[in-house]
Structure 1
Amino acid sequence: MTTPLPRRLAAEAVGTAVLAAVLVGSGIRATGLSQDGGVRLLANVLASVLALAVLIALLSPVSGAHLNPLVSAAAWWTERRSGTGLTGRELAGYVLAQLAGATAGVGVANAMFERPFVELSGQERAAGHLWLAEGVATGVLILLVFGLLRSDRGRYAPVAVAAWIGAACWGTSSGSFANPALTLGRALSDTYTGIAPGSVPAFVLAQAAGAAVGLAVVTALFGRARHLAPDDARELLAHPAGR
């Protein structure tokens, strides 16, 4: 039986909040403990990917553990004609829950380290190579999630998604935000992991473009989504996330 929508939305909000709190909090902690940029990045990435893997494994049976508006949008898009995936109303609820969770999680991280609950970031991140990096990081994330699902290997998502995000944090110039909710949340913390509010729209547009390309590549490599029976579709969507 499908998990009631309120419980699914609660899972998305709580999961995104915890992920945001660990992401920002570990960045603050790393900055306080080391002046070495490589050590800071290593600590921040390690904490974030461990949290991501645990949250996907924990919350997948409840909401699918999307924790990312673009994963939710892609899930809706791929099953929009079958009547077995997210509805438009559910998609809107997922996105709002993720945005609220990211905002709350960042605020809690700020407060845990004796900073203002809301503190707008001053870190400008506006350049073509950063937008390209965001597109690549997000596109491969979508390719990974939905490629695993279409090849019936969704059970590997917790490890595979966390591994890709960790690799992309090191392998892209932007640090692989790859998640509009967390990107917006990070604008509310003037710390190591922050992004200036004025830089957010371009990052989100680049992420959306990357997600669209990622879905196109999924279709090219794995074919179009199968139209599943409702019970099968719910199981399929119980394994999709991003940092």
Structure 2
Amino acid sequence: MPQLRETTASRLTSELVGTGFLLLSVVGSGIMAERLSPNDVGLQLLENSIATAGALTCLILLFGSTSGAHFNPAVTLWARLAGDLDNRMAGLYVVVQVAGGILGVMAANVIFELDAVFWSTKDRISGAAFLSEIIATFGLVIVIIGVVRSGKTQFVAFAVAAYIGGAYFFTSSTSFANPAVTVGRMFSDTFAGIAPASAPLFIVAQFIGALGAIGVARVTHPSR
């Protein structure tokens, strides 16, 4: 089969489109869940998690060969520290991830007949949520590192999707675990939204969790 050329344009486009569709799946399925199951929050969360995990599997399989399918500045941080990206490319990855996430949320709002920018009022500030995001992001990043360094790259999509699907339920924050996702979710006052005032706390926690995972992985899964 022909080899894909990993040009700068292909990598950045992959990150933009992939993160956009990830946020479209998160927010869009949240809106649909609220409408289908208006009186059952547990069922709403289940519907949201299944849709997100399914879309995430497809997106990683689709873009893993072009950009690495990060869709997450916390994952890009690991790639930069591991030497897989230089500062310029890592910075560009983060820019397009955030932009793609915002566009994905705006698209979700519009296709469900809401205002494109629909600022969230959902307050998520708490000590428990802060700790939850540290743990959620730690788990996500160390799963990725562990699977990749174990030589099982072909299973990354399934491992990440399974982890995120489970973490929706075993973390009190419902496992955002992604700064780009956090920024994007500010733009929709729906099931998956987060108030802008709550976002900085989540983002700090996510980078703490990512750095913790990178440090632990140096002991458990050292690079060859």
CA distance in 2 between partners of 1:218 and 1:87 (Å)? 21
> Counterparts in 2 of 1:21-170, with a 5 A limit?
21-34=24-37, 35-79=39-83, 85-170=84-169
Correspondence for 1:14: 17
Relative to the length of structure 1, the TM-score reads 0.89
Aligned-partner Cα distance in 1 for 2:137–2:16: 21
Distance 1:148 1:92 in 2: 25
Q: Which runs of 5+ in 1 are unaligned?
A: 80-84, 227-243
Task: Deviation per CA, 1:94-139: give whole Å up to 9, x if none.
Answer: 0001000000000000000110000110000000111101000100
2:215 alignment partner AA? A
Gaps of 5+ in 2: none
Which contiguous aligned blocks of 4+ residues in structure 1 show a shift greater than 6 angstroms?
Answer: none
C-alpha distance in 2 between matches for 1:141 and 1:14: 21
**Aligned-partner Cα distance in 2 for 1:107–1:145:** 28
Report Cα offsets for 1:5-49 as digits up to 9, x if no partner.
Answer: 111000000000011011101100110111101110010000000
SS in 2 for 1:63: coil
Partner of 1:236: none
* CA RMSD between the two structures: 0.9
Q: Count how many residue pairs are aligned between Structure 1 and Structure 2.
A: 220
Partner Cα distance (1:108, 1:188) in 2 = 11
Look up the equivalent residue of 1:17 and give its one-letter code.
G
SS in 1 for 2:161: helix
Q: CA deviation at 1:2?
A: 5.3
Give distance in 2, aligned partners of 1:5 and 1:72: 15
For the residue of structure 2 that corresponds to 1:66, the secondary structure is: coil
Q: Please list the CA deviations of residues 145-204 of structure 1 after superposition, one character each: whole Å capped at 9, or x if unmatched.
A: 011111111111000000000111100000000000010000000001000000000100
Task: Letter of the 2:32 partner, please give it.
Answer: R
How far, CA to CA, are the matches of 1:175 and 1:121 in structure 2? 16
